[in-house]
Amino acid sequence: MAKSDATQPGTTAAGPAVLLAHHLKQLKLPTVLREYEKVARECARDGVDHVRFLLRLVELELLDRERRVTERRIREAKFPAVKSLDTFDFTAIPSLNKMLVLELARCAYVERRENVIAVGNSGTGKTHVALALGLAACQRGFPTLFITAHTLSSQLMEARDEKRLLRLQAQLQKVKLLIVDELGYVPLSQVGAELLFEVFSQRYERGSVIVTSNLPFEEWPSVFRSERLTGALLDRLTHHVHILEMNGDSYRLRQSASHRRRTAGAEQNQATTAPAEIADDLEADAETS
Ligand code: ADP
Ligand code: MG
């Protein structure tokens, strides 16, 4: 190599640079590769020694790596949308304990393998809060999965039919926080209910669950199709649980109502919203949830 460098002027500097790039790629240090020339120039300019030069590079790599890992965790959580508590208006839902939600966002409950159940009527921000808590968990390093109760029970049944139920159950066990959204919106089949029960049962004291539901606990037997199964489930789920009471006006409805008031105001229309219209809105709201 030295020989060919000598016969081809100009490749002497490129030789080690090419090798270095190759080695850094193999060592999976993309940030060092991207930044070393720039940082070297800065260090030479400022008279910074070699140890500090290396330290700067390694710190950049570490920061970037942390960001990449968090981004991957967020992708793997399969959130339908990324929502945070920064965009959540607590004044819109007075029944919700704000201090509790902020405390939950620190994720100590995930470490303690405790559960969260958010119950309330449609459009009150249950999914929003669940997504925000899921995002917080990802940012704090906990593998998370977001799924609706309906999709989860379908996936479990499919896995059972294809003889890969154990594998799916093992995958579910790996996540530290399982978010099961919309329990109760769609009634489950008997097999689906039993398989879902098994997931909750396997997580008991092993991993956290967040459940959102529009149904009060008394009505859960209609989802699980059995008083006995529901009793056993609630027993496990509520042993270490934080309940988020989220009954109130639908946020969507309020927004569309205030939007309508603004437009009506602009048109100098004095008519107020008729109760029938509100009922229509509520129905549309329930359908889109
Ligand atoms: P739910 O799951 O209780 O039916 P969602 O979380 O889906 O309700 O809320 C419906 C919509 O309204 C979402 O777009 C959500 O982001 C928004 N939303 C609900 N409550 C609030 C709130 N208090 N502050 C900000 N946005 C909210
Ligand atoms: Mg929802």
- Per-residue pLDDT reduced to its tens digit, 4-32: 444 444 455 678 999 999 999 999 999 99
- As for ligand 1, residues whose beta carbon falls within 6 Å of it are 83, 87-89, 92-93, 122-128, 212, 251-252, 289
* pLDDT tens by residue, 175-198: 999 999 999 988 899 999 999 999
Sheet holding 208-213, edge to edge: 144-148, 177-183, 208-213, 115-119, 241-245
Q: Which helix (H) or strand (E) holds 244?
A: strand 241-245
Helices 165-174 and 190-203 pack at an angle, to 10 degrees, of 40
Specify the ligand 1 atom closest to the Cα of 92.
23
Report residues near ion ligand 2: CB below 5 Å: 127
Q: Which of 128, 186, 244 for mutating ligand 1's site (highest number of atoms within 8 Å of CB)?
A: 128
* pLDDT tens by residue, 116-139: 999 999 999 999 999 999 999 999
Q: Please tell me the pTM assigned to this model.
A: 0.81
Give Cβ neighbours of residue 31 (< 8 Å, ≥ 6 apart).
57, 60, 61, 63, 64, 65
The reported pLDDT for the residue numbered 272 is 43
Give Cβ neighbours of residue 277 (< 8 Å, ≥ 6 apart).
none
Specify the ligand 1 atom closest to the Cα of 129.
6
Judged by average pLDDT, the poorest of 53-62, 82-91, 233-242, 252-261 is 252-261
Q: Whose CA is nearest to atom 18 of ligand 1?
A: 125
* pLDDT tens by residue, 215-256: 999 999 998 888 999 999 999 999 899 999 999 989 877 777
Six-digit token pair at 94?
Answer: 């007075």
Distance 49 CA to ligand 1 centre (A): 54
Specify the ligand 1 atom closest to the Cα of 212.
2
